[in-house]
Amino acid sequence: GQQVMQIPQYQHVQEGEDFTTYCNSSTTLSNIQWYKQRPGGHPVFLIQLVKSGEVKKQKRLTFQFGEAKKNSSLHITATQTTDVGTYFCAPLERNSGGSNYKLTFGKGTLLTVNP
């Protein structure tokens, strides 16, 4: 299956600083989703990117899909303590032996914010 690397694994910032997490693949991705999981919580869907070079914004969050569709990033401007959690990228991967697809979650980036 495809190899997806998410970096950094951990990031600690001061409140108000920016934050970026990157998701890199060795193969071309058809589609990628991003999720956030608060400590002790469950993953919550944030966004889906499909088109090459796509950029989507949700308030202080900016999501990008690379031109070659091999990487994606999530950028948070002026972090707040409510941004604390683990951010996962989840590219679609073809299920081995069939025509079905599955979401393959990256290891995630744990963001902590110092108030």
Partner 1 sequence: DSGVTQTPKHLITATGQRVTLRCSPRSGDLSVYWYQQSLDQGLQFLIQYYNGEERAKGNILERFSAQQFPDLHSELNLSSLELGDSALYFCASSVSGVITDTQYFGPGTRLTVL
Cα 90 versus chain centre, distance: 7
Contact between 39 and partner 1 per CB under 8 A: no
Contact between 3 and partner 1 per CB under 8 A: no
Question: C-beta of 10: minimal distance to partner 1 in Å?
Answer: 13
Q: Return the residue matching tokens 């193969």.
A: 27
Q: Regarding beta strands 85-94 and 32-37, do their DSSP bridges make them parallel or antiparallel, or are they unpaired? A: antiparallel
Q: Return the residue matching tokens 């995630």.
A: 108
Instruction: Name which position in 88, 91, 109, 111 contacts partner 1 (CB under 8 A).
Output: 88
Show the site string, 40-59: x = touches partner 1 by CB under 8 A, - = not.
-xxxxx--x-x---------
